[in-house]
Chain A
């Protein structure tokens, strides 16, 4: 339903009023990236129009204003994910860079030959490949928690896979391909019993779920700004302070140093130790604007609206003959992946695009998961706070049209 509140939210997203192929845009590719509210677009322009300066070093007014805004964003992130200390918040380019940072620093220091790293069968390539590279380099072993038919993890097999050689569990909180919400709190506590550290890939979860890293007790948590209404190119790596302090540096350069001589360089304190070079100042500052936008609606309200969309879309899609939903977990975010028996996802994607409907088809960077289900890919509709039931009705009509054209 298009409630007044929903209309007010939609009005904040200028892109939603554009036309695609002569039709009103229906944007259902939110799991890839969300659209940006006017406040975010304006904040970017405001930064470049009024106080663009390099941060932390300058003593002039612009540098000070930019530095304050940049650090305010770090505090906003700390609050957003419930971190104990602000220096536990490292700015990155995105989730992928955060995971790689941990693999290259903590991983290279702590993973030895014969050690095991445990991931799951529903990981995004970004949470597979960095660990594969590390395991190859260190002669360590990558093990995989199997995915069950309903798209949940086999917790039984997870328990069996855990032992004292397990040094790290790298796990996605919400599957980008299935929508499954994994019981990460339980996963973390089980891993800790064996002394393993846990990295949580929060790329999909941060925008939908309440995140409290202290309650989860995860050791690392990585997410991206662009999936939660912020610009691209800004992400966050949270790490427990004692781990971040003990880890070797990632990239060398400006900002991350204390003193440099040709003989010896001493490194800066957290979090700057991991932020070499001039950072992505503008997008970092605007990340706070996006978090403020989320706060202004409230995670609870977001979750409620998105759950309604999920339930509605699921029941509507299930009624289409020949359509099969991949991922039937009880706990899901607002994302539905589906396939047809005799129609290729790619064909459906093209026909829907002609009708102004943007969604994702393909393997969603989860090729091992697609192989697990024996499919080349899926059609994925993912919903955000600005989507409506009317748009889902249009999707269903669009799918019927696709079936007619493609049969």
Chain B
């Protein structure tokens, strides 16, 4: 179970990236993070799970247990997979409310995506939006059931 808060995990990621002083090392670390991500079962690599708005393919699967959302994801591009891996580290296993409120400042802090994050080119925004959509959906279902 993930006991750390989103803020704590973000801080860890920022600290990990701060060890590198050149872009090559940062990207190689990001690519490694992607490689460490457990592969998503081929059964989920379908249009139903595909996130629109990415140049590369990104598939995202969410499950809900005990008020927490768990994410699994994959991509056919390595750098994007690294991004996905970071987002999963931060958001997977967190309560819906925390996911919805997450500002994800670490993306800017690690200093790799100052421009890209604002464009649709790497699909980062689309991924975050989709993860938050899942959190919102589960939160709404919970609220309905409590009524």
Contacts and interface: CB of A to CB of B under 8 A. Distances in A.
Interface string A350-375: 11001000000110000000000000
A350 B79 contact: yes
Given A21-B23, A405-B27, A406-B31, A347 B78 contact: yes
Contact of B55 (A351, A361, A405, A406): A361
Contacts of B80: 344, 346-347
A21 B113 CA distance: 12
A376 B56 contact: yes
B86 to A, nearest CB: 15
B27 A376 contact: no
Contacts of A406: 31, 78
Interface in A372-407: 376-377, 405-406
A399 to B, nearest CB: 15
A354 B23 CA distance: 8
B80 to A, nearest CB: 7
Interface in B111-138: 116, 122
B102 interface: no
Contacts, number: 40
Interface string B36-48: 0000000000000
Interface in B48-104: 55-57, 76-80
Contacts of B122: 346, 350
Contacts of A344: 56, 76-78, 80
Contacts of A405: 24, 27-28, 31
A342 to B, nearest CB: 10
Interface string A335-355: 000000001111100110010
A377 B116 CA distance: 19
A376 B24 contact: no
B77 A347 contact: yes
B56 A346 contact: yes
B142 to A, nearest CB: 37
Nearest to B116: A350
B102 to A, nearest CB: 24
A354 B28 CA distance: 13
Nearest to B78: A347
Nearest to A406: B78
Given A354-B23, A405-B27, A347 B55 contact: no
Given A346-B122, A350-B79, A406-B78, A362 B23 contact: no
Interface of B: 23-24, 27-28, 31, 55-57, 76-80, 116, 122
28 contacts: A344-B76, A344-B77, A344-B78, A346-B55, A346-B56, A346-B77, A346-B80, A346-B122, A347-B56, A347-B77, A347-B78, A347-B79, A347-B80, A350-B27, A350-B79, A350-B116, A351-B27, A351-B79, A354-B24, A361-B55, A362-B55, A376-B76, A405-B24, A405-B27, A405-B28, A405-B31, A406-B31, A406-B78
Q: Which 4 A-B pairs have the closest CB atoms?
A: A344-B77, A346-B77, A346-B56, A346-B55
Given A346-B77, A351-B79, 19 more contacts: A21-B23, A344-B56, A344-B78, A345-B55, A346-B79, A346-B122, A347-B56, A347-B79, A347-B80, A351-B27, A354-B24, A354-B27, A362-B55, A376-B56, A376-B57, A405-B24, A405-B27, A406-B31, A406-B78
